[in-house]
Structures are given as structure tokens and as C-alpha cells.
């Protein structure tokens, strides 16, 4: 089977890390795809929805009654819920990565012991290959998990900030409408 020269490093990496490394790569692609989707949503859907909510609130004649404040809270909660939507899935993907790395460690160590039991000579080389195969998925799983945690922390910060800003802007708009 002819391979392209640009695929050779990828093939060597998969050979070195085993099939678990491929699964971690798929999870990483899912994680970063959801991250890209959240950026797209915030940029092109959330901001216009926030402006529409502000417009609807300003156009309301009543801003002070209990029902008006409740309606405002429902609108804000719904908009923030849409922003927060895939956060549980992101957290799940981040938790899965180290577990997959651990699975890679176990399968790599099984490979080490299997090759040691079959090899009569050159046991040090077989053991070194197996240890490398065991540590690569672990390292990759942890690295993807750390980057995912950084992304989740940033997203949660943005959600908290937007929630507070939205409440402040709507309260200010109500005060300006009555002034």
C-alpha cells in the first residue's frame, strides 16, 4: 500500500502510541470542534440575540413590576442557558482524556510483558519500546485534558461575565427609560 510522505510521521506516531492514541485524537478533535462552535455561537449568534433582548426590554413600557422583573430574569436565564449549553459535554470530554491515557498505559504495559515473554534476547529493547508505547497515550491524554480544562475555565468565566453584564445592562436600560 503506497503511503504519502506527509503521512509517515503520523503513521509512526500511531505505531508508537497504539490505537488508544487514535481514540484520544478523535476525542481531542471533538473537544476542539465544540470549542470552535462555542466561539462561532458567541460571535455570530449570542451577540445579536443579546442585542435583540436589550431591544425587547427597552421597548417594554413596564420595567418595575414584579412580573416585568421576572420576565427579564427568564429572558436572561434562557439566553445564558443557550450560551452554557455544551459545557457538560466539554467537561465529559475533558474527563475522558486522562482515562483514555490510562487505558493506553495499561495496553502498552501488556504489550511490554507480552513481548518480554516471547523474546529470548534483546529484552531491554522490547521493554523500552513497550514503555514508550505506554507513556505516549498517557502524556497525550493529560495534555489534551489540560488544554480542555483551560478552555472550560475560560468559557465559564465568559458565561459569568456575560450573565452579570446582561443583568447590569438591563437594569441600566430600565433606569434610563424611567429617567
Q: What is the pLDDT along the chain (179 residues), one digit of tens a residue?
A: 456 788 788 788 777 778 888 999 999 999 999 999 999 999 999 999 999 999 999 998 888 889 988 999 999 999 999 999 999 999 999 999 999 999 998 888 887 777 777 766 567 776 777 777 788 899 999 999 999 999 999 999 999 999 999 999 988 887 776 66
Residue 101 sits at the vertex; the CA angle it makes with 97 and 105, to the nearest 5 degrees, is 170
Query: Is the torsion defined by CA of 158, 159, 162, 168 positive or negative?
Result: negative
Q: How many domains does the chain have?
A: 1
Which residues constitute the domain of residue 128? Answer: 5-178
Q: What is the pTM of this model?
A: 0.81
Amino acid at each position: 500500500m503506497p503511503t504519502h510522505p506527509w503521512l509517515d510521521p503520523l503513521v509512526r506516531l500511531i505505531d508508537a502510541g497504539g490505537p488508544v492514541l487514535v481514540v484520544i485524537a478523535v476525542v481531542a478533535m471533538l473537544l476542539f470542534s465544540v470549542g470552535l462552535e462555542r466561539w462561532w455561537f458567541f460571535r455570530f449568534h449570542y451577540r445579536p440575540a443579546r442585542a435583540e433582548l436589550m431591544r425587547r426590554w427597552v421597548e417594554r413600557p413596564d420595567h418595575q413590576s414584579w412580573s416585568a422583573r421576572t420576565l427579564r430574569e427568564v429572558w436572561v436565564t434562557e439566553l445564558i442557558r443557550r450560551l452554557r449549553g455544551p459545557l457538560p459535554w466539554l467537561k465529559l470530554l475533558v474527563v475522558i482524556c486522562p482515562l483514555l491515557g490510562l487505558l493506553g498505559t495499561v495496553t502498552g504495559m501488556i504489550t511490554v510483558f507480552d513481548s518480554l515473554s516471547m523474546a529470548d534476547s534483546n529484552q531491554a529493547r522490547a521493554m523500552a519500546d513497550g514503555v514508550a508505547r505506554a507513556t505516549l497515550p498517557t502524556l497525550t491524554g493529560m495534555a489534551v485534558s489540560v488544554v480542555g480544562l483551560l478552555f472550560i475555565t475560560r468559557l465559564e468565566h465568559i458565561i459569568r461575565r456575560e450573565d452579570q453584564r446582561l443583568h447590569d445592562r438591563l437594569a441600566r436600560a430600565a433606569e434610563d427609560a424611567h429617567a
